[in-house]
Structure 1
Amino acid sequence: MLPLKTLWIIFRKEWCDALRDKRSLRMAFLPPVYFAAVFVASVLFIIHLKNTSTASVSEPLQLPVYGAEHLPAMMDWLEEKGIRVKPAGEDAYAQVEQKKLDYALIIPAEAADQFATGESATVWLVHDATNNKIQGSLGFIRQQLWSWNGRMGSLRLLARGISPSVVNPVYVREMNIASDEKMGLMVMLSLPMFLVLLAFIGSVGFSADMTAGERERRSLESLLITPATSLAIIGGKWLTSLAITLLVLLLEVLLLAIAFAYVPFNELGLRVNVSIADLLVIFVMLVPLAVLAIALQLSIAIFARSFKDAQTYIGLLVFIPMIPMFYTLFNPGAYEPWFNWIPVLGHQAMVKELLIGSGFSWWPLAQFWIVSLPLTIGMLLFTARQLRKPKIVYGV
């Protein structure tokens, strides 16, 4: 039977030690601030790119053309679509190569005769594909050239008494059934990863300090000679790390609530409807993961000879949640009911579902606890058994 009074005493002792370690506290509470700042900065950057792109498209694009007189019908089409055609010299290719021009359209002299006789005329759109600044304008020009090409092809078929639909046996029309909330998730794909990662590493420094750190400072022996049981000692340390992790997660939830309230998602044409209640549900969903992650941290850190070694070992645990995180990032639509039985993978999937407004269900939360509790208890019992071994206490 675990003595609750002893457990409370150990928890208070470790909690006071944690509060005195100002540097570790700063390191624990800075990641949620960084994550929230990165998220807001990313969304604002996307908005800036969209506004810049809209401003550039609203202004007439200028297209340097050499040989415009050979295909006047094409030039009229481009002018009609808002592209201002300006003459370019014979050295248009060289000017693009020397970066004097961003792009140029070169129409050979034989293109006029080929077009008049119904043959295919070759024109050259010269550009530097490594110049990312022109991709938006270049894509618009390329689209208008293909539109004119398709229109002329249809007119040629009609002139020969052939319906243009002959060359288009199937017309494909797309219908997007994704809700506005699901489309809004496209600009915040990193959020589930950040939240799950915080639950996994929220108190890494404290877990390492309460095990390997005390062993290195030789303060573990004085704790072991007290009447407290090994399980009470490990339980008190586990509760301290859990409390810190939950505070870190709560801070992240509050920062995200502020971000969702003030970031202008509507400028992207998206409706992101994530309330503080939704974020609190996500917080509740991440609690079982934090419970399990801290037990795993203590189980690994107890074998480290020094605080630095413990941080290194526990730091490698970051790769455990990264595997399912990347799986869900590269397969955003993948979801199976058995995901909920796998720690981290199920949490990642459920956080994403909650962010897109799919609603809250008690069964996934029960599944998380069904998996996390036995694993956590097993790891804590294992760590408690290791605590009084001479190899752990004295390093022999």
Structure 2
Amino acid sequence: MKTTLTVFFKEVKENLRDRRTVLSALIFGPLLGPFLFMMVTNTALTRELNKADQPIKVPVIGAQYAPNLIAALRQQGLVPLQAIDDPETAVRNRDADAVLRIPQGFGTSWRKGETSQVELIYDSSQRDSDSSVGRLKSMLESYSRREGVMRLVARGLSPTMMAPLSVDERDQSTPQSRAIVIFGFLPYFFVLAVLVGGMSLANDLTAGERERQSLEPLFANPVARWKILLGKLGAIGTFSLMSLFISVAAFAVSGKLMPAERLGMVIDLGFSFAWRVVLMMLPLVMLLAALQTLVAAFAKSYREAQTYQSILMMVPIIPTMLLSIMPVKVADWMYDIPLLGQQVGIMRLLRGESVSAMQMSHCVVAGVVVAMLVILITAWVYRSERLAISA
């Protein structure tokens, strides 16, 4: 135990002095994700919410053919702009979100009681115009329904004849469960913080020392290699855990800065959420530290180890992608699979649902068991004499 602690304190102390390691593991790694997420999401949401509160400015071609329609759309928040000669090009070049074109025969068809057609020109690939196009469609549909009812009444018919089926929608989502729409990738950010937090140390303490030829003198000491390994794993895990703490705290702050109330959401990433996340992530701190060390053991240089670690960083995104593409009903067996168990548990916490003590214990115990197996494999690799040879 004394040897393990000596190696642990030595590696932690040396890497705290390394500015590159501190910046990567404790600043850029845990803070870059929350910062970019908050900046991009907050900017996009604020822009869309502000657009929803403002009138829609849309060029209208042939407004003189449907004055009543234009007047009704004005009341709903439409600001008709001057007609343009080439609406298709204007939409493609983003000079206009949408263009409304009213044909010359609109009034004739309307007076005959026939279906009058208008053209809504837009580009569905322009995501920033979705809200404007959606609002304009809703305005046109509302006007169509209202005028359809008036036509029926004018003919002495009941408007209910056109609505044989009435749908009463009852959305069972809660303000907190709707937050999953924004924070669906949050579990991956936490795993990424753990990976980035320990990556520099894992590469340097194995591949780096192997490249510098300082691993051979260390192994020459009359000390069991598994004790040296545990000290190194402890140092890697410490930096990974600190990175996780910082990331959880950063997302808690970013959650308070989101305009959740205007979206009808409640985002609760406070202490109750944070300690459960850290508890579920603890086995992954052990597991990923061992995996990173194992991967670095097969590299002969620091740069080669970085290449291998970049591939390893793609593995945690698999559960997130699977659950987003193929939503499945959560089952208890999922908590017994590392990464998947953390993904499911954190998603449930985000939705405001409870994670039972049994489910939490399965998530933790299963992760610890797998982590111990990987540590044993890494210890076996550390027994190889070829590990200390850089050439």
Q: 1:94 and 2:91 equivalent?
A: no
Q: Secondary structure at the match of 1:64?
A: strand
Letter in 1 for 2:86: A
**More deviation, 6-15/336-345:** 6-15
Aligned to 2:2: 5
Does the alignment pair 1:21 with 2:13? Answer: no
Deviation string for 1:209-262 (max 9, x for gaps)? 111111111111111121210211111111111111111111222223333445
2:36 is aligned, of 38, 49, 53, to 38
* Closer/same/farther in 2, CA of residues 368 and 165 from structure 1, 3 Å limit: same
Q: Distance in 2 between matches of 1:101 and 1:358?
A: 43
Judged with a 3 Å threshold, the aligned counterparts in structure 2 of structure 1 residues 127 and 252 are, in CA distance, closer, same or farther, namely closer
Distance 1:101 1:324 in 2: 40
Q: Quote the offset at 1:45 in angstroms.
A: 1.0
Equivalent in 60, 66, 80 of residue 64 of structure 1: 60
- Cα deviation 1:100-131 (Å, max 9, x = unaligned): 87655443343333222222233333456566
Per the TM alignment, residue 337 of structure 1 is displaced from its structure 2 partner at its CA by: 1.9
Among candidates 119, 123, 129, match of residue 118 of structure 2? 123
Work out whether 1:213 is the aligned partner of 2:208: yes
> Unaligned stretches of 5+ in structure 2?
none
Deviation at 1:95, TM superposition (A): 6.1
The one-letter code of the counterpart of 1:13 is K
Following superposition, the deviation at residue 343 of structure 1 comes to 0.8
Looking at structure 1, the residues matched to 284 and 274 of structure 2 have their Cα atoms a distance apart, in angstroms, of: 16
- Cα deviation for residue 341 of structure 1 reads 1.1
Residue in structure 2 matching 1:348, options 334, 339, 343: 343
Do the aligned partners of residues 45 and 333 (structure 1) sit closer, same or farther apart at CA in structure 2, a change above 3 Å counting? farther
- Greater shift, 173-182 or 269-278, is seen at 269-278
Contact 1:212–1:304 under 8 Å retained in 2: yes
- Secondary structure in structure 1 of the residue aligned to 2:86: helix
Give 3-state SS (helix, strand or coil) of 2:183's partner.
coil
How far apart are residue 161 of structure 1 and its match?
Answer: 4.8
CA contact (8 A) 2:24 2:197 kept: no
Aligned equivalent of 1:141, options 104, 113, 136: 136
Superposed CA offset, 1:145-196 (max 9, x none): 2222223333334444544433433222322111111122322223222012
The residue type paired with residue 62 of structure 2 is Y
Instruction: Kindly indicate whether residue 109 of structure 2 is the aligned counterpart of residue 111 of structure 1.
Output: no
Whether the 8 Å contact between 2:179 and 2:350 is mirrored in structure 1 is no
Check conservation: 1:103, 1:125, Cα contact below 8 A. Answer: yes
- Pick which of 312-321 and 76-85 moved more: 76-85
Q: Distance in 2 between matches of 1:176 and 1:102?
A: 31
1:176 to 150, 166, 171: 171
Write out aligned runs for 1:226-241 (5 A): 226-241=221-236
Partner of 1:368 in structure 2? 363
User: Quick one: distance in 1 between partners of 2:9 and 2:216?
Assistant: 18
- Call closer, same or farther: CA 1:254–1:119 in 2, change over 3 Å: closer
> In 1, distance between residues paired with 2:293 and 2:110?
77
Distance in 2 (CA, whole Å) between partners of 1:264 and 1:365 is: 31
Partner amino acid, structure 2, of 1:66? G
Q: Give the direction of change, closer, same or farther, for the CA distance of 1:296–1:94 in structure 2 (3 Å limit).
A: closer
Q: Give the alignment's TM-score, normalised by structure 1.
A: 0.86
Report SS of the residue matched to 1:120. coil
Q: Which residue of 2 aligns with 1:156?
A: 151
Q: Any conservation in 1 of the 2:58–2:99 contact (CA below 8 Å)?
A: no
Give the SS at the match of 1:187.
helix
Amino acid at match of 1:64: V
Q: Would the aligned equivalents of 1:199 and 1:249 in 2 still touch at CA under 8 Å? A: yes
Identify if the C-alpha distance between structure 1 residues 106 and 46 changes in structure 2 by more than 3 Å, giving closer, same or farther.
Answer: closer
How far apart are the structure 2 equivalents of 1:81 and 1:350? 44
SS at match of 1:281: helix
Secondary structure of the residue aligned to 1:33 is helix
TM-score (norm 2): 0.87
Q: Given residue 320 of structure 2, which amino acid in structure 1 is its aligned partner?
A: M
Query: Which deviates further from its counterpart, 368-377 or 213-222?
Result: 368-377
The alignment covers a number of residue pairs equal to: 387
Check the 8 A contact 1:199/1:290 in 2, yes or no.
Answer: yes
Larger Rg: 1
Go from structure 1 to structure 2 and tell me whether the alpha carbon gap of 1:217 and 1:328 turns closer, same or farther (over 3 Å shift). Answer: same
CA distance in 2, matches of 1:208, 1:110: 73
Distance 1:136 1:106 in 2: 19
Question: In 2 relative to 1, CA 18–131 (structure 1 residues): closer, same or farther, beyond 3 Å?
Answer: closer
Q: CA deviation at 1:143?
A: 2.0
- 1:42 alignment partner AA: V
Coordinate RMSD, CA, aligned? 2.8
Shift of 1:23: 1.2
Q: SS state of the match for residue 120, structure 2?
A: strand
Q: Distance in 2 between matches of 1:131 and 1:294?
A: 43
1:32 shift after superposition: 1.0
